[in-house]
Amino acid sequence: MRLIYIWITRIILTITMVGFIPFSSNPTLVQAQSKKKNPAQASKYAKRGNAKAKKKDYRGALADYKRAYQLNPSSGYKKKVQQLTSLAKKSGGKSSKKKPSTKQAQQAANYAKRGNSKAKKKNYAGALKDYQRAYKLNPSSSNKKKVQQLTSLAKKSGKTVASKSPTRAKTPRISDIPMISPVKYANEIYNITEAFESSSRNLARATHYLDEKEKKKVERIYLKRAPSTSDLEQAARLEPNDFRKQVDLSRNYEANGRFEDAKEIYLKLAAQHPNNADAHFHLGSFYSRFGQMTKARHSFDEALDVQPSHRATIETMATLFKTKESRSMSDDMLSKSAQKDPKGPGKQMKKVRQNLNDLNFDVAAKLAQGGQDMFPNQVAFIFLKGRAFEGLGNLDKAKATYQQSIKKDPTHHESYVALGDLYFGQGKYVYAALTYGDAIKIDPSDKNSRFNQGLSYFKGSEWGRAASSWEDLLHYEPHNQEVRTLLPQAYYILAVEYNRVGQSSLGQTAFRKALSVNKNSGIWLPGSMRVLADYYREKGMNRESLAAYQEAIELKPNDAQAYLGLGITYWRMNETGLAKAAWARSMEIDPINNDARGWLLLAGKTSS
């Protein structure tokens, strides 16, 4: 009995000691063992952890797998916990970021809201700045994703934020200046163009159906804006005795280059309405636009026989200054008007014109003002007053007077032309081009205004608009040699600029158009490089300017203007010695009509 008691005591002591011995030092495992197993719940946590791991949310996945292991401490869950622990450390460690305060979260939300409004307006650079501030205050995954999206959009739109620290410009050495080879560039473009044309044809065939839809849409919009030629033809056919509709149709024919059809209508109107001065005036204006001054004189003479003070004819005569023949016709017509109607505006108009021809601008201005007071409906007196102010050198008054003339009669063609010439002389090339455009709307056959509009855009560095204006002019005057020299220059400069900014497909198209206008690149390529060099210098791109001038000189070694421009660029770069050498060479080539002499005097060296 005593022996049984001893063994029972030993067993109880053994069981008690075993209860105090720890089996593992891992708190996770101890906790897992202390909890009751629940495989179904553990499987749910593991499934959610896998989903988070796929999204690279390793910390969240680790937390789920720890819970799964606590509910079902299997070897698979244990291994997954170890893997996710390692991944969480690599992606940012176990240390959890400090949660933003309520104030910081509110400020971040305000920045995000402002960023969204800027992004809707396509101001991606501004939106990116706001979201970057929001991410600093509240580094959430949504803010981070938005920053990445806006960074990509800002790069595509080209509105990247410039560096705050300014960089000092360095004067390059002559050996560092890149040499541009137009021949090499042309060969490269030619090689790419062949493949480009083939793909363009394939794309045109593939999108033929869509193109037809687009054309129909544009046509519908155009019909809403203005009547088409077919509409005007139908209206004129339905009402053949409506003088205004017949004139509208003939003007439309002129705008579309159908000059013979337009002349046919003017002749028919003059025959059907012999007692209508307007009919003879329209026919005379048509003849004068095409330089047929003898026929124009006969028509204007008929108009004054019907109505000696016919306003449109008198105003047209007042604006003819270009050629000796036109001035003679103007004087004769005004004299006839003054003789038939002494109290009419013809007599006063003739006095104003006579003083303008004699350069008595002060007297001409006073007479024009008097004529304006006596005949307020005659816009020509305002126009002539502007010519007088321009002759006196008072360009501000001349400009205001031309604008007054246009305001009084928006269809007065010569006032637009005079104002455009004034803007051009002041170097306001874009405004000159816009004003010439208004003149073209009134008289589509005005070739001089079309050329001057293109030249104004060209000098204003609006190469695309210049090309468009000159392309339109070639429809009216296909063999204009000046346009066939300048238009390829505009296209070539477009090609170089497109290529410089990475838009090679547009550059290929522009270069192909330049060759289609004039295949003899030796005529227009040196001028293109010189204009491009001037453009780069005005933009402060002196290195590119030097390279372009050197290429122009290589293409045309005796180009005095290229050496002149090269010297100016060197002068801008504080390379006085090289500038003087370039100007001296320019003077050797052309010692008479050359601005290099003035630059040499400015540099302190007189060359005779």
Pair (82, 150) in one structural domain: no
CB contact at 8 A, 385 and 404: no
Token representation of residue 205? 């065939």
* Angstrom distance (rounded) from CA 480 to CA 452: 13
Residue ending a domain, among 516, 538, 564, is 516
In a domain, 14, yes or no: no
Structural domain contains residue 557: yes
Residue with tokens 């991606």: 124
Which pLDDT band holds residue 18 (cuts at 50, 70, 90)? very low
Site of tokens 């021949």: 183
Closest CA to 570 of 544, 607, 589, 542: 542
Contact between 367 and 390 (Cβ < 8 Å): no
Instruction: Return the number of other C-beta atoms located less than 10 Å from residue 571's C-beta.
Output: 18
Show the domain range for 148.
108-155
Q: Are residues 512 and 530 in the same domain?
A: no
pLDDT at position 416, please?
A: 92
Q: What are phi and psi of 424, to 5 degrees?
A: -65, -45
Q: Is residue 318 part of a domain?
A: no
Do 60 and 143 have their domain in common?
A: no
pLDDT digits (tens, 9 = 90+) for 366-379: 888 888 888 888 88
CA distances to 228, 439, 445, 456 from 256, rounded to whole Å, are 11, 16, 9, 24
Side-chain half-sphere CA neighbours of 345 within 13 A: 29
Residue 335 lies in a domain: no
Quickly state the pLDDT bin for 159 (edges 50, 70, 90). Answer: very low
Query: What is the domain count for the chain?
Result: 4
How many other CB atoms sit within 10 Å of the CB of residue 17? 9
Residue 600 lies in a domain: yes
User: What residue type is assigned to position 559 of the chain?
Assistant: D
Residues 192-204 pLDDT 10s: 666 666 666 666 6
In tens, the pLDDT along 431-481 reads 999 999 999 888 887 888 999 999 999 888 888 899 889 988 888 888 888
Q: Same structural domain for residues 508 and 436?
A: yes
Contacts of 468 (CB under 8 A, 6+ apart): none
d(CA 505, CA 194): 12
Kindly tell me if the per-residue pLDDT of 2 is higher than 70: no
Alpha-helical runs (H) found in 158-228: 182-206, 208-225
Average pLDDT for 415-433:
91
Same-domain pairing of 538 and 460 = no
CB 566 within 8 A of CB 556: no
Q: DSSP labels for 49-91? A: HHHHHHTT-HHHHHHHHHHHHHHS--HHHHHHHHHHHHHHHHT
Q: What is the pLDDT of residue 419?
A: 92
Query: Domain for residue 545, yes or no?
Result: yes
The CATH number assigned to the domain holding 576 equals: 1.25.40.10
More confident residue, 11 or 60: 60
In this structure, are 505 and 528 located in the same domain? no
Name the residue with higher pLDDT: 63 or 94.
63
- What pLDDT does residue 315 have? 73
Which bin fits 393, alpha (ψ -120 to 50), beta or left (φ > 0)? Answer: left
Residue 271 lies in a domain: no
Select from 501, 516, 531 the last residue of a domain. Answer: 516
Residues 525 and 608 in one domain: yes
Comparing 287-291, 492-496, 568-572, the range with the smallest average pLDDT is 287-291
CB 78 within 8 A of CB 107: no
Pair (459, 525) in one structural domain: no
Region of 158 please: left (phi>0), alpha (psi -120 to 50) or beta: left
Using the Cα atoms of residue 508, residue 510, residue 516 and residue 520 in order, give the sign of their dihedral.
negative
Contacts for 115 with CB less than 8 Å, ≥ 6 apart: 126, 127, 128, 129, 130, 131, 134, 146, 150
Give the end of a domain, one of 469, 500, 516: 516
CA distance 494 to 94: 57
Residue 542 covered by a domain:
yes
Which 8-state DSSP code applies to residue 369?
Answer: H
The per-residue pLDDT for 253 is 84
pLDDT digits (tens, 9 = 90+) for 521-553: 888 888 888 888 888 888 888 888 888 888 889
Average pLDDT score over the chain: 79
Amino acid found at 231: D
In b/e form, how buried is each residue of 166-196, taking b as 16+ CB within 10 angstroms? eeeeeeeeeeebeebebeebbeebeeebeeb
pLDDT at 286: 83
Residues 526, 601: one domain?
yes
pLDDT at site 285: 81
Of the candidates 387, 366, 438, the residue with the CA atom closest to the CA atom of residue 402: 387
Q: Which residues contact 550 (CB under 8 A, 6 or more apart)?
A: 177, 179, 566
Let me know: does 269 contact 285? Beta carbons within 8 Å. no
Q: Which residue has the higher pLDDT, 201 or 232?
A: 232
Question: Lowest mean pLDDT: which of 26-30, 129-133, 541-545?
Answer: 26-30
Say yes or no: 533 and 601 in one domain: yes
Whether residue 512 is found in the same domain as residue 524: no
| Position 95 pLDDT exceeds 70 | no
Helix (H, G, I), strand (E, B) or coil at 503: coil
Give CA angle at 451 (492, 510), nearest 5°.
20
Per-position DSSP letters for 408-457, written without gaps between them: H-TT-HHHHHHHHHHHHHTT-HHHHHHHHHHHHHH-TT-HHHHHHHHHHH
pLDDT reported for residue 263: 85
pLDDT of 221: 44
Mean pLDDT value across residues 200-229? 56
Of 293, 290, 291, 250, residue with least CA distance to 270: 250
70 contacts 29 by C-beta, under 8 angstroms: no
- Kindly tell me if the per-residue pLDDT of 92 is higher than 90: no
Tens digits of per-residue pLDDT, 327-361?
777 777 777 777 777 787 888 888 888 888 888 88
510 with 529, same domain: the answer is no
